[in-house]
Structure formats: C-alpha cells, structure tokens
C-alpha cells in the first residue's frame, strides 16, 4: 500500500497508468467492442475513416474493419509483452539467484553465459530464433524472452550477493534449511524488487520487437497485429495513409504509456529510498 501511495503521487506514472488501463480494457473487451472477426471482409476495400457509421475507421485494402484490427491488435501486443516479461523475469531470477548464491565457478559460468546473450542485440536474436523455428505467438514470446532475461539476472545476482550474508540467511542455515530452499524461499523474494522495477521496460521492448517481427512477416499469421497492419499499409501511404498511421499511432501511444508507468515505478522506488533510514 505504501508503494501504491508513492506511485499515485507521480504525475508521469498516473498518466501512463491511465493510458495502459484504457488500452488494456479495450483489449479485454474486444469481443464486445469489435465482435466481428478482424480478418473477415467487413465492407468495400479502402473505405476512408469516418465515412460509414458501421466502420468508423474505414477498411483496409481487403475490406477488413480497421477498428476491429486495432482493438484485437492491442490484445496481441499486450499479451506478447506481458508473457515475454514474465518469462524473462522467471529465467533471469533463477539464473541470478543460482549465480549469486552459489558463487565460485557456478557464478562465473552463468555470468559468462549471460554476457554471451547480452552481446547479441535483442531484435537480431529474436529474428534469428523466429526465422529458424517459424512464426507463432509462442515462438515470438520465447524469442523475446531470450534476449530480455540478462538484465534481470544481473540485478537479482547483485541483490543476492548482498543478501546472502544477512542474519536471516545465517539463521536459516543454522536450523538446517536446504540451500535451494534458502536461495529461492528466503533470499529471492527480497531480491526481486530491482528486477520488477524494469518489468515495464521489458514489456515496452517486447511490444516493439513483436511489431517489428510482424512488420517483416515473422508474426503469427493467424492473428491481427499492429506490425502486420503497418506492413500491409506501407505501399498505400500516398493514397490511404490511415492504414499505416492508425496502427503506428496505437503502437506509439502504448509504448509511451508503458514508459510512463516505468517512470512512475522509478519515482516510487526513489521516494522509498529517500524515506528509508
């Protein structure tokens, strides 16, 4: 509750929360707000926005409803972003905890693996992974998580290195707790805060990478995504700019909202640090 109160005092955080909450509610309510299949033909091709009450944002080059595509595309983007964030935090937390708690050769080996993944740009790693295994939502999520787990791993490791010398860890050893239980039950929950602070940034990066992969034709072909919509409209920028501009604007607003949420989390943690004796 104290963290929530500090977060609510952040103007940037509140603005971001409002943006993301609006987009998330629209994505959740997609079956009611846009009940028609976004991949189905809904009207004449290239219908301009605001010319038909049934199709307020017009149609694309195949006659598909642009509004339905935007709303259902929000579901895909947020689902991929959140799933990739959870996977990246899970992998990073396990690697960072094991490395920090075990130390020695285990720590050295895991950190060298982390370095190897960190050297490769996230998008190139995701591009290579999806190109090899084929486009699907699951593949895209795994590909993004493989490039995003390194920073949480380093943050968790740094916290574990500090926490493993605390009195409560010594007490757990004295009563005979298993090392794995000490690491994951006693230390990890106290080491997660820095990793959780960058969760919003991982989501934002995941949304952008998913859009880029979809733009290149490496997204799931069975769902509508903003990247696919932008790609399909790029050849008609002169005659029908809304085909690319609308999903592009939705992508920009979503990423901006996520970054503002991250700013709010950072502000809340900074206030906590100032008030902690």
**Calpha distance 262→199 (Å, rounded):** 8
CATH (domain of 270): 1.10.3720.10
End-to-end CA distance of the chain: 19
Element (H, E) at 141: helix 137-148
The total of structural domains in the chain comes to 1
Measured at the alpha carbon of residue 172, what is the angle toward residues 166 and 174, in degrees to the nearest 5? 105
User: 17-59, pLDDT tens digit by residue?
Assistant: 999 999 999 999 998 988 888 999 999 999 999 999 899 999 9
Q: Which domain holds residue 76?
A: 2-275
**Calpha distance 24→30 (Å, rounded):** 10
pLDDT at 151: 94
Q: What are phi and psi of 265, to 5 degrees?
A: -65, -45
pLDDT along the chain (277 residues), means of 10: 78 92 93 88 92 92 94 93 96 95 93 93 93 91 95 94 89 89 91 86 95 92 92 90 95 95 84 55
Give this prediction's pTM: 0.90
Answer for the pair 34, 74: CB distance below 8 angstroms, yes or no: no
Q: Which residues lie below 8 Å from residue 212, measured CB to CB, with a gap of 6+?
A: 123, 227
Neighbours of 137 (CB within 10 A): 17
Helix, strand, or coil here: 41?
strand
Say how many CA atoms lie within 13 Å of 34 toward its Cβ.
Answer: 26
41 forms beta bridges with 64
Say how many CA atoms lie within 13 Å of 141 toward its Cβ.
Answer: 17
Cα distances (angstroms) measured from residue 247 to each of 22, 84, 117, 231: 16, 21, 31, 10
pLDDT at 276: 47
Helix then strand then coil, % of the chain, to nearest 5: 75, 0, 25
**Calpha distance 193→126 (Å, rounded):** 27
């Amino acid at each position: 509750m104290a963290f929530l109160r500090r977060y609510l005092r952040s103007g940037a955080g509140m603005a971001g929360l409002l943006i993301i909450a609006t987009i998330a509610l629209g994505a959740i309510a997609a079956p009611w707000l846009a009940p028609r299949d976004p991949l189905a033909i809904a009207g004449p091709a290239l219908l301009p926005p605001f010319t038909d009450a049934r199709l307020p944002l017009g149609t694309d080059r195949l006659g598909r409803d642009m509004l339905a595509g935007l709303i259902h595309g929000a579901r895909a983007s947020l689902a991929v972003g959140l799933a990739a964030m959870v996977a990246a935090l899970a992998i990073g937390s396990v690697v960072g905890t094991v490395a920090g708690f075990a130390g020695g050769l285990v720590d050295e080996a895991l950190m060298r693996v982390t370095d190897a993944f960190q050297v490769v740009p996230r998008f190139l790693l995701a591009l290579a992974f999806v190109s090899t295994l084929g486009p699907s939502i699951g593949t895209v999520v795994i590909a993004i998580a493989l490039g995003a787990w390194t920073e949480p791993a380093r943050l968790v490791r740094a916290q574990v290195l500090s926490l493993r010398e605390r009195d409560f860890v010594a007490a757990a050893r004295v009563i005979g707790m298993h090392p794995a239980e000490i690491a994951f039950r006693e230390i990890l929950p106290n080491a997660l805060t820095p990793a959780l602070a960058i969760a919003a940034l991982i989501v934002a990066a995941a949304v952008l990478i998913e859009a880029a992969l979809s733009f290149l034709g490496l997204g799931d072909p069975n769902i509508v995504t903003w990247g696919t919509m932008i790609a399909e409209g790029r050849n008609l920028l002169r005659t029908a700019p809304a085909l690319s501009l609308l999903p592009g604007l939705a992508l920009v607003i979503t990423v901006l909202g996520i970054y503002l949420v991250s700013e709010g989390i950072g502000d809340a943690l900074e206030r906590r640090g100032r008030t902690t004796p």
